[in-house]
Structure 1
Amino acid sequence: MQLYGTYNYIIVGAGAAGCVLANRLTKDPETRVLLLEAGGKDDWMWIKIPVGYLYCIGNPRTDWCYQTEPQEGLNGRSILYARGKTLGGSTSINAMLYMRGQQRDYDEWAQLSGDESWNWKSVTRHFMKSEDYWRGADEIHATGGEWRVEQQRLHWDILDRFVEAAGQAGIAESEDFNRGDNSGVGRFEVNQKRGTRWSASRGFLDPIRHRPNLTVVTGALSDKLIYNDTNSVEGIEFILDGERFYAAALTETILAAGAIGSPAILQRSGIGPVEVLQKAGIEPVLELPGVGQNLQDHLQLRTIFKVEGIKTLNQQYHSLKGKLSMALEYLLFRKGPLSMAPSQLGAFLKSDASVETPDLEYHVQPLSLDKFGEPLHKFPAFTASICDLRPTSRGYVNVTDNDPASAPAISPEYLSTDEDRTKAAQALRITREIVSQDAFKPFKPVEHLPGIQYQNNDELAHAAGDVGTTIFHPVGTCKMGKTDDPAAVVDSHLRVIGMKGLRVVDASIMPIITSGNTSSPTIMIAEKGSEMILQDRERLLR
């Protein structure tokens, strides 16, 4: 191996967390930072154009293109498990929805970690630190930060009708899903700037590329950690242009490779469940049973309703005039369908009156298609996808060999508990109730997917297995917890338990998945993580 260099900090992964960490840790010009990214640069036009997610997801240029193990809860199906493989990580290919989650999420994190600094009141400061909010600053929102939040730049009457129908079904309107209680129905706000995608790379990395103390390396496939002794990390091995290098970290190596990448690197380095390591032919260095376990994700159930007498994107998509008008509208004004996120309208509600806070989330779209990547339907229709915000199913991410180019086995174990199957059936019923309201009657909605033939709980749970797919929110595989928790991987300061010089700072540390989309909570984790890292460095230098 060749020595690539020596740095104060090595950050593995230039996604949401890695870009924030690089920005914050290099503010001190005396601190040298190496940022390693396995993917390429984010200069492809379809990354910047919001609707470009259609070309980025499932494309090996920008996506790891993982596949899950066959899922019993999905009736034996294996599904695409997209993860960003470029600067900006998944923020360069995701839905761009700005969601913090609920107060209860972070209060539970504080309880599970034994650290009150993770509660809602405390983490709100970290959300606000990087926020640049379109409405302006108030007691819970801020302006001037790197993470731009705007309204979407398009309008659909069919979505107005959904809002009206939801109101008739007892769901009030909400103007802001990010104040701790996201109950209600309303428009999603997005991480965009004047109609273009605002990724973590654009927000946090581009403004600091000139810093001489930051080295950014793309195309660098991280393999495994380097140890000084059995409980101290001093750097990482990686492959670049077919050659093997190692970089040395004087202070810390920080894994920010996400809920799939970070546990895989730990396991290849001999840190994880012994039986998993031995099966993969890897010599155990530190037994941490929780590495790669506790995988949580939001499974979305796509329901599609055909309509009459109202415009949806399906008609415009299949018209040459419609396509030209979309292109022209975006070219001239950065507005219209090419500027839209995958979902424009959201709703948060309770699956049952006994639930304390909303546990279901809708993503509503003025379009429909058989599956991702295929053409839109030729008939007018809309899609109302609904996900269980707090699934009880738990899965895993386990390497199967010691080759960094091999995809790990990914099994979210969707719908593997009675609670999740019951809630899925209830979610499909609630959707039917909303669409049956008077607001939709003039448009004669007909259920196209999953189909009205599914009625009782068992039938609806089976239907959920047919229509369910990931909404790309994997978390929890290096969970934060108390040091006496046998399933915990990192402590409340995100230090790997039992190992010096090593932290994990990304979505994998979430002990419980947030009640909403996960990219902005990951930004917050990196803000808080970088503050803790800098505080520890300051103590070292005293």
Structure 2
Amino acid sequence: MFSLSRSMKPLLSLTLLATLLPISQAALFTSPDQLPTTEYDFIIVGAGTAGNVVANRLSEDSSKRILVVEAGIDDTNVELIEVPFFGPNTPQSIVDWNYSTTPQSALNGRTIPVPRGFVLGGSSNLHYMVWNQASEDLYDSYAQKTGDSGWAWEAIMPLWKKISTFVASPNNPSLPPPPANNPSLSNGNGPVQVNFANFATDIDFRVVNSSKELEASGAGGGRFKFTDDMNAGDSIGFGFNQESAGGGTRSSSATAYLHPALNSRSNLDVLIHTQVMKLKETSPLTFTAVEVAQSADGPLTTLTATSEVVLSAGSIGTPQILLLSGIGPKDELAQVGVESTFDLSHVGKHLIDHPLVLTYYSVNSNTTFDDTIRQSDLFASTLELWEDERKGLFSTSSTNVIGFMRIPQGEGANDPSSGPRSAHIELLFTNGFAALGDTKQPDEGHFLTVIAAVVSPKSEGSLTLASAEGGTFTHPNIDYGLLTNEFDLVAIQQALRDADTFLNATPWTSPSPYIIAPFGDWAIARDGTDADREAYIRKNLITVYHPVGTAKMSSDSDATGVTDSRLRVKGIKGVRVVDASIFPSIPECHPQGPVYTVGEKGAQLIKEDHGLA
């Protein structure tokens, strides 16, 4: 949530170049020619959040050979993703696919970035590490929509406990686990490390105490409540953010699931720098082979799975591969010259992301992170502290406290959330100027950033092929359809009003005002009319980088689905989808936790269907 000054970019670039030197690692290949075989039991497309879970779990059966094909680079020793604070600088970098949307009509024709992980670990290496489980209502709604009780909260919880372990934050002793509800209880004993923020800021307890004050006063109808643990089934409330990190370093699906298996099991191979161009039909309506390449016009290699191909390429990559394989809306495929192999009309549809707007305030503080970002010597010493001891500002995410709320206008038949324990909106608080989107870091001053997001949006878009030429090396058309449903605009306006209420609580105003004034264009919009605020939203809105839904699962009788409740692609054989594209609705939270859950669930289903140990 920051941008590096020009003087600091060479420093970070040199650090990154040093980390990208070739590293010898068993069973990690950089070319299809290096593979010991072209036939495996299972081929997993994408070494991302869910794909690495599947790779780890399937390779537990030593009788099966597993191949993971990843388009991006090795994650080993890349500081850009290891340093928790650097998360906001991963978009449009060497670890990003660098996608962008089509012009968004409701955003004045702007295009916005669509960051997706181009690295082992996928997007678990790009986000800001917020660790949410989602509510009971979300999983119960998935069970209802698919007609499969195996997706209900009670059935999912044993899988959730296999994913993460809550660890202490040794560098932030002011944040012990709350005695009322220890977060270790909402985690388990899995490989992903989860902790509270590892570096305290001046705003942390301002947020917590504001929530408690407003809850006690009944402000906003009691919607500002404090929660000890938003991962215990009811996700509503303000509190300390759990994040996927441990010991001052990011914990990703690569570090937690992939590398431990890769370094200890001889039946797992990983191929990087290689893109899957399409699925290949091995018998009528059976697709158990993939065609891969390392450049758009490079040689093609066919790799075969004797059991299944598992698509874990994410909400952008998975539908694109299906479409390039002729699996999708027949009429749309014909327009770009792709021969239809199976007319599955909703591939690429129902694309949805969480929209957000950033607001800025000048503050009476010199402890924000602004000076660290602007001053090269301070930046260098802070990085050195992290490198030597894994301590300091860079040892944690830039957001320690968050809050999830419901809005009065969202109740009733038009409520898009999965239930009363799920949120409509989210507020995030950052101790500095979070320069996301087109906003630039100010040359001077100290700031508070308040981010308002809609976590149960109604607006949907779609993904379509821009061309059949170049395969997956040609980026698809990504249309989020942002703000095309009026609910989303209403919700974000409500979030901004709630932020106003929140920042007028006593912890921000007494004994002396913490906030000096709104900053930049937000100063005009905040004190202006509803039309001024709407104009600000349309000019500045981006997303939280959480695209889902493009291969959504549904019941067998629901024709709007792409996958069934066992994650098999409907109407064909040999292909299963295990990633965020299968969500029937967007999780009302930061979805990395639910995506890990999909990985564990998918691995469980594959093992059951193929009799794996």
TM-score, length basis structure 1: 0.94
Which has the larger strand fraction?
1
Match for 1:238 among 271, 292, 295?
Answer: 292
Number of positions where the alignment pairs a residue of Structure 1 with one of Structure 2: 538
Take 1:18 and 1:11, find their aligned partners in 2: how far apart are those partners? 7
Partner-residue secondary structure (3-state), 2:287: strand
Q: What CA distance in whole angstroms lies between the structure 2 residues aligned with 1:354 and 1:459?
A: 23
Structure 2 counterpart of 1:112:
145
Looking at structure 2, the residues matched to 121 and 506 of structure 1 have their Cα atoms a distance apart, in angstroms, of 21
- Tell me how far 1:377 sits from its aligned partner: 5.1
Instruction: Please give the residue correspondences for 1:424-443 in structure 2 after superposition, counting only pairs within 5 Å.
Output: 424-441=492-509, 442-443=513-514
SS at 1:323's partner residue? helix
- What CA distance in whole angstroms lies between the structure 2 residues aligned with 1:256 and 1:453? 42
Instruction: Tell me the residue number matched to 2:593.
Output: 520
- Kept in 1, the 8 Å contact 2:525–2:533? The answer is no
Q: Any residues of structure 2 matched to 1:64-463 within 5 Å, and which?
A: 64-134=97-167, 140-143=186-189, 145-170=190-215, 171-210=224-263, 211-240=265-294, 242-309=298-365, 311-319=367-375, 322-352=378-408, 355=411, 356-357=420-421, 358-372=423-437, 374-375=440-441, 378-402=444-468, 403-404=470-471, 405-441=473-509, 442-448=513-519, 449-453=521-525, 455-463=528-536
User: What's the counterpart of residue 467 of structure 1?
Assistant: 540
C-alpha displacement of 1:488: 0.3
8 A contact 1:158–1:312 mirrored in 2: no
The worse-fitting range, judged by mean Cα deviation, of 123-132 and 323-332 is 323-332
Cα pair distance change 1:530/1:429, threshold 3 Å = same
CA distance in 2, matches of 1:310, 1:166: 24
- The answer to whether the 8 Å contact 1:348/1:359 transfers is yes
The AA in structure 1 aligned to 2:283 is D
* More moved, 432-441 vs 91-100: 432-441
- Find the residue that maps to 1:315 and give its secondary structure: helix
Counterparts of 1:468-483 in structure 2, within 5 Å, are 468-483=541-556
Structure 1 unaligned blocks of 5 or more: none
Structure 1 residues 399 and 520: alpha-carbon distance in aligned structure 2, compared to 1, 3 A threshold:
same
Displacement of 1:126 after TM fit? 1.0
**Alpha carbons 1:393, 1:413 under 8 Å: kept:** yes
TM-fit CA distance, 1:263 = 0.2
Percent of aligned pairs with the same amino acid: 29
Provide Cα deviations, 1:147-200, integer angstroms capped at 9, x if missing partner. Answer: 111122111112322333333333232221211112221121111120011110
437 and 55 in structure 1: CA distance in 2 versus 1, 3 angstrom threshold: closer
User: Do 1:370 and 1:377's aligned partners in 2 also have CA atoms closer than 8 Å?
Assistant: no
Q: Cα deviation per residue 1:291-349 (whole Å; 9 max; x = unaligned)?
A: 00101111111111111245311134334564355234424431222112142211111
The amino acid across from 1:432 in the alignment is D
Query: Counterparts of 1:478 and 1:342 in 2: how far apart (Å)?
Result: 32
Q: Give the 3-state SS of the residue equivalent to 1:396 in structure 2.
A: strand
Report the Cα offset of residue 122 of structure 1: 1.4
| SS across alignment from 1:129 | coil
Query: Using the alignment, how far apart are the partners of 1:287 and 1:421 within structure 2?
Result: 35
**Shift in Å at residue 87 of structure 1?**
0.4
C-alpha deviation, 1:364, in angstroms: 1.2
1:302/1:386 contact within 8 Å kept: yes
1:408–1:342 CA distance, 2 compared to 1 (3 A): farther
Deviation per residue, 1:37-92 (Å, 9 max, x gap): 00011122222122233443211x21000011111222211011100001000111
- Conserved 8 A contact 1:279-1:400: no
User: What amino acid is aligned across from residue 260 of structure 2 in structure 1?
Assistant: P
Give the gaps of 5 or more residues in structure 2. Answer: 1-31, 168-176, 216-223, 412-419
CA–CA separation in structure 2 for the residues paired with 1:399 and 1:537: 33
Q: How far apart in 2 are the matches of 1:138 and 1:53?
A: 24
Residue 503 of structure 1: aligned partner: 576
With normalisation by structure 2, the TM-score equals 0.84
- Give the distance between the partners of 1:371 and 1:472, measured in 2 at CA: 12
Amino acid at match of 1:51: F
Contact 2:327 2:340 (8 Å CA) reproduced: yes
